[in-house]
Structure 1
Amino acid sequence: MATAQACIDLQINADRIWQLIGGFDTLPDWLPFVPQSALSEGGRVRTLKSIDGDTIIERLLDFNEAGRSYSYTILQGPAPVRDYQSTLRVVSTSEGAQVHWSGSFVPVGISEAEASAMFATIYQDGLAALKQTLES
């Protein structure tokens, strides 16, 4: 199983960050490469559209409001992986907050290194976009 992770330090209150990213349907509010999201199954499944026109369907596995985190799995999408599980978490720090995005998955047709690099880039680019959104 391959893994990837990214973390960013922000000088912004953790509750403010969680308010923006904590909803399972809020990716379009801060992630420019996912401009559309629609919830189904009582808010437990989201159908995303990427800027490339791809459809990604994800299921919420765990939601922890007090812990400011949620975990999800990809049910369908273009990524060359299976058994994908990811967690997005906001942690308070003395200077603001850290946002952690991590995942594990089994590559299909590519190496573990390629899959890990692909998702590390997605997470890093996503967290950079989050920072830009919060600072604008």
Structure 2
Amino acid sequence: MPRPYASGIVPGDVEQVWRRVRDFNSLSSWHPAITHSEIEPGPGAGEVGAIRRLTLADGGVVREQLLTLDDVDHSYTYRMLDGPFPIRSYVSTIRLAPVTATGDTFVEWWADYDADAADEEKLTTTFADGVYATGITGLTNG
């Protein structure tokens, strides 16, 4: 099972960055590839079970469900329910940690997913670079 991964340093202390990231409905406010986000009826954006509907810059739609939310570990895990990617399963985690030497925040983001072998290389690059690295850069610039 492939594991796309990206990490980076975001200016600001971990609590400050976590406030931006924690809201499961906030992705469109800091990720440049997401033009709109809304929480479907049911659990709210800060509750396990929440489902967000994301509109991508190219018009595609992705639906994701929050599986875990950990304020101590500054992380959450979610799964993709629907989307334009040829995958059979996808579970992703974003986690923040303090950089004690500088007061900044280390952000890492990864997923485990299942897809046909012929699609894995392209999907891994798409997720690692186009989703995670782009999002971390969005946090850095925002």
Matched, 1:103 2:111: yes
**Structure 2: stretches of 5+ with no match in the other structure:** 45-49
How far does the alpha carbon of each residue in 1:6-52 deviate from its partner, in whole angstroms, 9 at most, with x for none? 00013420111001111100001101211211112212100111111
Q: Tell me which residue corresponds to 1:126.
A: 135
Q: Deviations over 1:67-102 (max 9, x none)?
A: 111000000000122210000111012122100111
Matches within 5 A, 1:33-72: 33-40=33-40, 41-43=42-44, 44-72=50-78
Give 5+ residue unaligned stretches, structure 1.
none
| Alpha-carbon offset, residue 109 of structure 1 | 6.8
Letter in 2 for 1:99: V
* Aligned mates of 1:38, 1:80 — CA distance in 2: 23
**Residue identity in the other structure for 1:66:** V
Displacement after TM superposition at 1:112 (Å): 2.4
Match of 2:85 in 1: 79
| Contact 1:2-1:115 at 8 Å conserved across structures | no
Instruction: Indicate the SS of the match to 2:122.
Output: helix
The letter of the residue matching 1:37 is: S
Residue 97 (structure 2) pairs with residue 91 (structure 1): yes
**104, 114, 120: which one aligns with 2:122:** 114
Identity %: 27
Q: Secondary structure at the match of 1:110?
A: helix
Alignment coverage as a number of residue pairs = 133
Aligned mates of 2:64, 2:117 — CA distance in 1: 21
The CA RMSD over aligned residues, in Å, is 1.4
Question: How many angstroms does 1:127 deviate by?
Answer: 0.9
Give the TM-score normalised by the residue count of structure 1: 0.91
Give the aligned partner of residue 25 of structure 1.
25
